[in-house]
């Protein structure tokens, strides 16, 4: 029986990247997370994405930040008129998979793990931490997260650098006023934050919020989220004086500041999403929403963007939609990947879909 792409790729990772520990179903990687396919982008599009991400970063950098965000992503659809920014994420998943898939297909560049280590050391240094002894990967009930496999990969990678690493729920943290401790009582030097309470407003984020207020390095953090990834930022970016940014981000609407009837009449050309959600939660294509759902937008913080169909690619006789995810650190692009899917939105449930490298 011929091994599947997933089995072949998983074995290749285990053989070539011992520092990542186990890889495959043992740590929760599913076949629909890694696509066997690749996406080609022209040098002109890559240059446009690179320059655009740098411009957006500078546009939103109203004040210097002391604790930058690792793995910030800019997510684009590639339309017939060029790339269009869908959203920015400051705690984006998938970078390690994109890198490994690129290496597997023979399109990898410089050692990305060295870049990853430099990011975390930069975050620590900017907070006055000269040596990382222990790092915590933090998310709500991490053992239940779809991307828990990535936490295990990062844990193994960090440990290969001599950094102790724990994977914990934010509610397990304790702030003493000078130190952040895990449940075992040992001090933590840095938090890699994957918790989607972006402004740390829930009770389980209390210790993390107190530590951050005292200057403890938490990355990503609410300041960076509010500056770049809060979807209300898209409204202002779409009004930028920069022609490049306006090209990438057509006008965005704050829904409850619009005339309901006029907006209802336009709904089929729009895509609606909550300003502070993540992924595809409560996101709606305008032509498919009911009057009741539409009316509910006035009780929430909702934005509306022009609807752009995702790019499509034919692979093995199957049409896939895809988006482009550009990973950057302080505006400098490090890695570009794609996510293949079928249906209305990316859901990591498509056979042959998932993360894919750009070639």
CB 20 within 8 A of CB 157: yes
In the prediction, which pLDDT does 201 show?
A: 95
Range list of β-strands (E), the chain: 72-79, 82-89, 134-138, 164-168, 174-175, 180-181, 187-188, 190-193, 218-219, 253-254, 270-274, 284-285, 302-306, 311-315, 318-329, 332-341, 354-357
Of the listed ranges 10-19, 47-56, 216-225, 256-265, the least confidently predicted one is: 256-265
Q: Does 294 map to a domain?
A: no
What mean pLDDT value characterizes the chain? 92
HSE, side-chain direction, 13 A CA sphere, residue 261: 0
> Which tokens belong to 136?
């915590």
Task: Extract the tokens encoding 206.
Answer: 């209390």
Task: Characterize the bridge pairing of strands 134-138 and 164-168.
Answer: parallel
CATH of the domain at 79: 3.40.50.1760
Q: Establish if 242 belongs to a structural domain.
A: no
CA of residue 59 relative to chain centroid, distance: 20
Cα–Cα distance, 342 to 313 (Å, whole number): 11
Domain residues for the domain of 206 are: 5-229+311-357
Q: Predicted confidence band at 61 (pLDDT cuts at 50, 70, 90)?
A: confident
Mean pLDDT value across residues 3-30: 94
Handedness of CA 174, 177, 179, 185 (dihedral sign): negative
pLDDT in tens, 81-96: 999 999 999 999 999 9
Give me the pLDDT at residue 158, please: 98
In the chain, how many domains are there? 1
Mean pLDDT of 104-121: 92
Please name every residue paired with 217 in a beta bridge, in sequence order, or none if there are none.
Answer: none
pLDDT greater at residue 62 or residue 156: 156
Q: Identify the residue with better confidence: 344 or 336.
A: 336
pLDDT at 66 over 90: no
The two beta strands, 190-193 and 134-138, are parallel
Residue 305 located in a structural domain: no
**Does residue 57 lie in a domain region?**
yes
pLDDT of amino acid 289? 87
Whether the CB-CB separation of 260 and 287 falls below 8 Å is answered with no
Mind listing the pLDDT tens digit for each residue in 220-267?
999 999 999 998 899 999 999 999 999 999 899 888 888 888 888 888
pTM over the 0.75 mark: yes
Structural domain contains residue 55: yes
How high is the pLDDT of residue 248?
Answer: 96
Q: Considering all CA atoms of the chain, what is the largest pairwise distance in Å, rounded to the nearest integer?
A: 61
With b for 16 or more beta-carbon neighbours within 10 A and e for fewer, the 57-85 pattern comes to bebbeeeeeebbbbbbbbbbbbeeeebbb
* Position 237 in a domain: no
How confident is the model over 172-208, as pLDDT tens digits? 999 999 999 999 999 999 999 999 999 999 999 999 9
Confidence check: pLDDT of 1 > 70: no
Task: Tell me how far apart the alpha carbons of residues 257 and 242 are, in angstroms, rounded to a whole number.
Answer: 25
When mean pLDDT is compared across 257-261, 282-286, 328-332, the lowest value belongs to: 282-286
Q: What is the pLDDT of residues 268-279, one digit of tens each?
A: 888 888 877 655
Residue 240 covered by a domain: no
CB atoms within 10 A of CB 272: 23
Residues 6+ apart with CB under 8 A from 154: 96, 137, 165, 192
243: in domain: no
In this structure, how many other beta carbons lie within 10 angstroms of the beta carbon of residue 303? 23
């Amino acid at each position: 029986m011929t091994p599947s792409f997933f089995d072949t790729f998983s074995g290749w990772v285990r053989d070539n990247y011992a520092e990542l520990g186990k890889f495959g179903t043992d740590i929760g990687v599913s076949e629909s997370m890694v696509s066997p396919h690749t996406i080609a982008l022209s040098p002109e599009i890559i240059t446009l994405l690179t320059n655009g991400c740098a411009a957006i970063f500078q546009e939103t950098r109203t004040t210097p930040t002391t604790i930058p965000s690792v793995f910030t992503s800019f997510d684009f659809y590639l339309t017939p008129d060029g790339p269009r920014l869908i959203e920015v994420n400051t705690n984006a998943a998938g970078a390690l998979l994109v890198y490994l898939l690129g290496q597997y297909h023979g399109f990898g560049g410089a050692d990305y793990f060295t870049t990853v280590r430099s990011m975390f050391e930069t975050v620590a240094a900017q907070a006055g931490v000269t040596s990382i002894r222990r790092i915590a990967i933090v998310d709500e009930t991490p053992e239940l997260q779809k991307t828990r496999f990535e936490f295990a990969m990062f844990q193994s990678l960090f440990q290969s650098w001599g950094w102790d690493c724990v994977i914990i729920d934010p509610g397990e943290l304790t702030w003493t006023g000078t130190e952040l401790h895990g449940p075992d009582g040992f001090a933590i030097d840095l938090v890699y934050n994957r918790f989607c309470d972006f402004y740390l407003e829930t009770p389980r984020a209390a210790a993390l919020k107190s530590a951050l207020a005292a200057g403890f390095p938490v990355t990503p953090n609410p300041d960076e989220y509010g500056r770049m990834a809060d979807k209300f930022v898209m409204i202002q970016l779409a009004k930028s004086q920069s022609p490049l940014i306006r090209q990438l981000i057509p006008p965005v609407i704050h829904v409850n500041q619009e005339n309901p009837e006029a907006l209802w009449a336009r709904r089929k050309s729009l895509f609606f999403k909550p300003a502070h959600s993540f992924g595809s939660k409560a996101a709606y294509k305008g032509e498919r929403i009911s009057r009741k759902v539409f009316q509910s937008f006035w009780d929430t913080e909702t934005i509306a963007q022009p609807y752009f169909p995702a790019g499509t690619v034919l692979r093995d006789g199957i049409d896939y939609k895809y988006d482009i995810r550009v990973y950057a650190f302080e505006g400098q692009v490090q890695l570009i990947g794609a996510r293949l899917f079928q249906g209305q939105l990316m859901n990591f449930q498509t056979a042959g879909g998932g993360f894919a490298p750009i070639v």
